[in-house]
Amino acid sequence: MSEQNISENKKRVLSCIQPSGMLTLGNYLGALKNWIKMQDEFDCTFAVADLHAITVKQDPAKLKQQILSTYALLLALGLDPEKHTVFIQSHVPEHTALSWLLSCNTQFGEMSRMTQFKDKSAKHPENVNVGLFSYPVLMAADILLYKPDFVPVGADQKQHLEIARDIAVRFNNKYGDVFTIPEPYIPKTGARVMSLQDPSKKMSKSDENPNAWVAILDDRDTIIRKFKRAVTDSDSVVKMSEDKPGISNLITIYSAVTGKTVAEIEKEFEGKGYGEFKLAVGEAVADELAPIKERYEEIIKDKKTLEELYREGSLKAEKVARKTYFKAMKKVGFVL
């Protein structure tokens, strides 16, 4: 079998990430680390979901810088734009175009049930825009254009993926087979990293308190300081427990970074206090992130190569997207 045939037989994977701020340890352990691993087994398409970012207020100059920096960071993490497709969502206009076709086949009621919409509109009551409401439809378009078998997402995105599946099934039933029905791919370990300041909330890059999250590009001292300040519980036993969400979160992080099991970690820190444990977690995270930061600094400096890579990425992506989009247009009855 030729190399090309082998690659054609691979299952397809698609995922996207928003450039809405510094990517965090949560994004890394919950999503990106898994993307890197998936490249060996699957034919992958990954994008910077910049169109999604403007559902909340953005400063134009900052947004531009964040799109480029997110793209550069994806490369620094080890996504391979030669073997796979790594692109910027807004460079492929079929995403917004398909999202219109899908919008007209999606009910207001089902969108109203989306928990992220409820959360974000409560957080930004002054800007409950229509884009924020229909965000999952654009996400469905991102996915369905590339006919992926699997979509790796953190647990918080599962509801959006389910709606994408519902939309695809309904569209196929109404107009004939156009879309592949994608399966979620939710990693078992490190799937949900919580805020270091309020462990009942997920670690989020849009959290206003910078001590709540660790950025992938934070320097060593900052990382260690943030872990030292992490909110923990009143006793001082390093043990995973539902009534100890702070320490449980740190154990999850330490386990995801070192590969040690929870039992091994509890044993390692038996009789030792929280201080020692927090320092160990900080150091382990800093060690893991240091080489990524170094590669990032190299990549972001070379703007010309960066531009060549994202332009090529969007050409590759659009070839696939255009086919699916025109097939959908034709089925709906448009004159092509």
In the complex, the residues that contact ligand ATP under the rule CB under 6 A are 17-18, 20, 24, 26-27, 30-31, 153-154, 156-157, 191-193, 202-206
**52 is a site residue for ligand LTN (CB under 6 A):** yes
252 binds ligand LTN (CB under 6 A): no
**Is 123 part of the annotated catalytic residue set?**
no
Q: For residue 98, which of 330, 316, 335 has the smallest C-alpha distance?
A: 330
Which residue of 29, 32, 48, 49 would you call a contact of ligand LTN, by CB under 6 A?
A: 49
Cα distance between residue 276 and residue 94, in whole Å: 52
Using CA atoms, how far apart are residues 302 and 163, in angstroms rounded to an integer?
Answer: 39
The token duo for 156 is 């918080």
Decide whether 49 or 92 has the Cβ nearer to ligand LTN. 49
Q: Which is nearer to ligand LTN, 32 or 284 (CB)?
A: 32
Name the token pair of 81.
């734009």
Q: C-beta of 42: minimal distance to ligand LTN in Å?
A: 14
Name which of 205 and 226 has its Cβ closer to ligand ATP: 205
| Catalytic residue selected from 205, 226, 244, 278 | 205
In the set 50, 94, 142, 318, which binds ligand LTN (CB under 6 A)? 142
Query: Does 64 participate in catalysis according to the annotation?
Result: no
Give the shortest CB-49-to-ligand LTN separation in angstroms.
4
Catalytic residue (one of 120, 226, 244, 278): 120
Rounded CA separation 65/332 (Å): 38
DSSP state letter for 49? -
- Binding status of residue 99 toward ligand LTN by CB under 6 A: no
Which member of 33, 202, 226, 278 is catalytic? 202
Is residue 153 close enough to count as binding ligand LTN by CB under 6 A? yes
Cβ of residue 220: shortest distance to ligand LTN, in angstroms?
A: 27
Handedness of CA 148, 153, 155, 157 (dihedral sign): negative
Is 23 or 265 the residue whose CB approaches ligand ATP more closely? 23
226: annotated active-site residue? no
User: Which of ligand LTN, ligand ATP, none does residue 142 bind to, with CB < 5 to 8 Å depending on kind?
Assistant: ligand LTN
Torsion angles phi and psi, residue 225, rounded to 5:
-60, -45
Q: Which is nearer to ligand ATP, 171 or 213 (CB)?
A: 213
Give the C-alpha separation, 167 to 107, whole Å. 10
Which regions of 172-243 does DSSP assign to beta strands (E)? 183-185
Q: Which residues pair with 46 in a beta bridge?
A: 15, 86
- Spatial strand order of the sheet with 183-185 comes to 85-88, 43-48, 12-17, 150-152, 183-185
Structure tokens at 46: 């990954």
Q: Which two tokens stand for residue 47?
A: 């994008």
Binding site for ligand LTN (CB under 6 A): 15-18, 49, 52, 139, 142-143, 151, 153, 157, 160
- Catalytic center residues: 120, 202, 205
